[in-house]
């Protein structure tokens, strides 16, 4: 009985021929594991009559060795196949990995940086949490200037002298304090204002500041830089116009308009039928600002300018709502596949 069963199993295993890791493991579980068929046969050995024990024991051992050999061979074979790559089908189509897009603000910031880089401007950065000196006082803001008001600025309760910077002009001061002119720098970064969030205003946005200080820098240099920038950013047909303005840290100060990118100056609802859209503030650095940074205003002059990156992006891509930039809605973000 037992002898016949052993012979049956011995014949059975010869026909199985497991050929990969999975079937080798299945074979092991079926025949060799603790609850498998062969150990079960061994368990019955204790009931074998003494005169049959020698022969049955021999047959059992042969069966077990043979099963182990089959299993081992199959296992090694499957491991070799994997090692040699035979089990991997290189012609199978790959699993597509969707690549993301750059954020539209990053695309525009990079473009601005590239235009200024080609003019010899390098990039500098400063902290988003600023003190009153760098954000206001050194920039020649009078004590009672409305920009210092609680309504515009996020002050920090635990440190009354500190605030979230309201503009990147603060980085100008940090650069001028630390370095000796000449310098040509742009300073991109995030800024904060205490404003109600709407389609046209946000409590945080991004700016790029530019600063050029050297001997004999004139307003003509500023204007030529601005014209070059506008043409590089918005196309060679773009016209610029400077309007007198006021900023505490520049004198004279101006705001720059470009001919409307949507209607090319003919008049549309983007430019409110004026043909012009405002894109930045600029001017000659105020002598008081240079003095505050220990730069001799008799020897050095320079210009500064500051623009909102969102504003440029809105004009370039005709985005209708400022909130889209920070909502992370993929339906919006996926449209900006250009850029690196
Ligand atoms: N800091 C100004 C703002 O946030 C922008 C600005 C205007 C920067 C004139 C300048 C400048 O450097 O010269 O509105």
Q: How far is the CA of 275 from the centre of ligand 1 (A)?
A: 23
Per residue in 163-178, pLDDT (tens digit) is: 999 999 999 999 999 9
Q: Is the pLDDT score of 252 beyond 60?
A: yes
Q: How far is the CA of 212 from the centre of ligand 1 (A)?
A: 14
pLDDT of residue 260: 92
At 340, the pLDDT band (50, 70, 90 cuts) reads very low
Q: Is 247 in the pocket of ligand 1 (CB under 6 A)?
A: yes
At 99, the pLDDT band (50, 70, 90 cuts) reads confident
Q: What length is written for the chain?
A: 340
Q: How far is the CA of 254 from the centre of ligand 1 (A)?
A: 10
Per residue in 273-292, pLDDT (tens digit) is: 999 999 999 999 999 999 99
Q: How far is CA 313 from the centre of its chain?
A: 17
Residue with CA closest to ligand 1 atom 8: 306
Q: Which among 330, 336, 326 has a CA at the least distance from the CA of 199?
A: 326
């Amino acid at each position: 009985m037992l002898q016949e069963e052993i012979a049956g199993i011995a014949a059975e295993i010869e026909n199985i021929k497991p050929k990969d890791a999975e079937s080798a493991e299945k074979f092991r579980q079926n025949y060799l594991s603790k609850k498998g068929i062969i150990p079960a046969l061994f368990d019955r050995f204790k009931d074998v009559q003494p005169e049959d024990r020698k022969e049955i024991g021999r047959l059992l051992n042969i069966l077990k060795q043979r099963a182990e050999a089959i299993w081992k061979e199959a296992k090694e074979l499957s491991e070799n196949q994997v090692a040699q790559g035979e089990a991997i089908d290189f012609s199978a189509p790959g699993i597509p990995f969707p690549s993301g897009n750059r954020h539209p603000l990053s695309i525009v910031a990079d473009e601005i940086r590239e235009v200024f880089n080609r003019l010899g401007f390098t990039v500098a950065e400063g902290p988003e949490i600023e003190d009153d000196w760098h954000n206001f006082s050194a920039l020649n803001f009078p004590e009672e200037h409305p920009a210092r008001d609680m309504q515009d600025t996020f002050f920090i309760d635990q440190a009354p002298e500190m605030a979230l910077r309201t503009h990147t002009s603060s980085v100008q001061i940090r650069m001028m304090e630390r370095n000796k002119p000449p310098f040509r720098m742009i300073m991109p970064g995030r800024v904060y204002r205490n404003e109600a969030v709407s389609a046209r205003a946000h409590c945080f946005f991004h700016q790029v500041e530019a600063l050029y200080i050297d001997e004999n820098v004139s307003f003509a240099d500023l204007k030529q830089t601005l014209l070059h920038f506008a043409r590089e950013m918005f196309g060679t047909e773009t016209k610029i116009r400077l309007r007198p303005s006021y900023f505490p840290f520049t004198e004279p100060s101006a705001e720059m308009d470009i001919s409307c990118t949507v209607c090319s100056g003919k008049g549309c609802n983007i430019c409110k039928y004026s043909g012009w859209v405002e894109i930045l503030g600029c001017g000659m650095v105020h002598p008081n600002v240079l003095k505050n940074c220990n730069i001799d205003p008799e020897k050095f002059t320079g210009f500064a300018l500051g623009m909102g990156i969102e504003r440029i992006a809105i004009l370039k891509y005709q985005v209708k709502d400022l909130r889209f930039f920070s909502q992370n809605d993929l339906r919006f973000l996926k449209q900006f596949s250009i850029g690196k």
